[in-house]
Amino acid sequence: MRQPLSMVRQSALVLQIGVIALVAAGCIGCADTLPRKIQHVVIIVQENRTPDNLFHGLPNADIADTGTNSLGQVIPLTPVSLTAGYDLNHTHQGFVTTYDQGKMDGADETSCSGACPENPHFKYVNPSEVAPYLQLAEQYTFADRMFQSNQGPSFPAHQYLIAGTSAPSAGSPYFVAENLDQTAPAGVESFLTSGCAGVGQTVALIGPLGSESLHVAPCFEHLTLIDLLNPASISWRYYTTGSSWENTLWTAPDAIRHLRFGPSWSNVIPCPTQVLLDIAMNQLPAVSWVIPTGQNSDHAGVNLGTGPSWVAAVVNAVGNSPYWSDTAVLITWDDWGGWYDHVVPPIYNSYEDGFRVPLIVVSPYAKAGYVSHKVHDFGSILRFVEENFRLRTLGYDDSRADDLSDCFDYSQVPLKFKTIATPISATQFLQDTSTPLDPDDD
């Protein structure tokens, strides 16, 4: 069932009225009279991992060595390569099955595709393959109670990372629940050709009672964090992969009508490595989202094992530049990817929150060698940006989230940056001329 045109127009009108009201209330770009120690925020998004899977052995963090399956059997977590050639179910139904009403024992009842080993969900990545992540987590702040805000895959997760919601319109009781519908319409070659500029694609919504019977076009209209940054003259860029139409799963602004077809679209940069050049040329915006290519992601069955080096290259670029003194780098993963994790998530409604994902906070004001046990989710990232730049909340997930304050100590002597050792350098990423791989489409 398609969203009626009248609903789209009504949503656009509600958005316009909302923006006018916010500006009139003086809450977008509120008075900024106090000095801020953080002038730049870099949000690096990786793909599809849990703390139990990716940070095995991290000191002081709540990381499991075993898991429980649907038969009540205790299954040891065993090592697997980051580049293992299989993928796991991480749809909303995969969440429901794995969560099993809070028992966290249904992972083995979800599907696995590719070269699946025995107990494919119960794995941890060889620590040697993710050494840059472990270095960052041990030197700065690691959060072991960070949850993805949604109970589903990448497309809605990236919506939460710019807006705190995957609602199709302002005030809607529905959430976008899944990746794009798998069956391409007649005459459409790829179901990745979508978003507001796409043709004929749909995506499932989930209602308050959990039904996913309603499907709408993947083009939405509501406020995002970008709509708070723009009127406050706070610069931003969204560094992503591929052209404007072929990677919409990870290019969140492409599914917001007024961003896709408005002047803000020029700040969506279809080249992740441009962030390295912008840092080198002293052109880093105040707020950045940095999205990987498929091969530099950590997505199972797709990646080339280069994700840890890619993330470290961006961090090293910041750390070895003048930006280090006033920057916070927030590194997170967009969803759990189907991997086992033992911590029960907080549940707020039919779609929020989801399973744990890692979060690393890197800054001269991040607490050194600290593990945060406070509950965070994607709304916490938005709330941090809002409070740091004196903006009001959007009224979505960010309004109930914390602001990551326990991860920072602004009174401490600023930490000196130590270059993160990587097998692949920033120069190699800049010189890579291979065609970016598509994002996950499962």
Is the sign of the CA dihedral 143, 149, 155, 159 positive or negative?
negative
What are the pLDDT tens digits along the chain (442 aa)? 444 444 444 555 555 545 534 543 445 444 444 568 999 999 999 999 999 999 999 999 999 999 999 999 999 999 999 999 999 999 999 999 999 999 999 999 999 999 999 999 999 999 999 999 999 999 999 999 999 999 999 999 999 999 999 999 999 999 999 998 865 555 554 444 568 877 778 899 999 999 999 999 999 999 999 999 999 999 999 999 865 445 568 899 999 999 999 999 999 999 999 999 999 999 999 999 999 998 999 999 989 999 999 999 999 999 999 999 999 999 999 999 999 999 999 999 999 999 999 999 999 999 999 999 999 999 999 999 999 999 999 999 999 999 999 999 999 999 999 999 999 999 999 999 888 876 655 5
Paired sense of beta strands 376-377 and 146-147, if any:
parallel
Closest CA to 438 of 235, 301, 269, 276: 301
CA torsion angle 30 32 33 36 (round to 10)? 140
Q: How many CB atoms lie within 10 A of CB 392?
A: 17
CB 412 within 8 A of CB 364: no
- What domains, with CATH codes, occur in the chain? 5-19+37-65+83-431 (3.40.720.10)
- Is this model's pTM higher than 0.85 or not? yes
Closest CA to 132 of 321, 365, 355, 314: 314
What type of residue is 162?
I
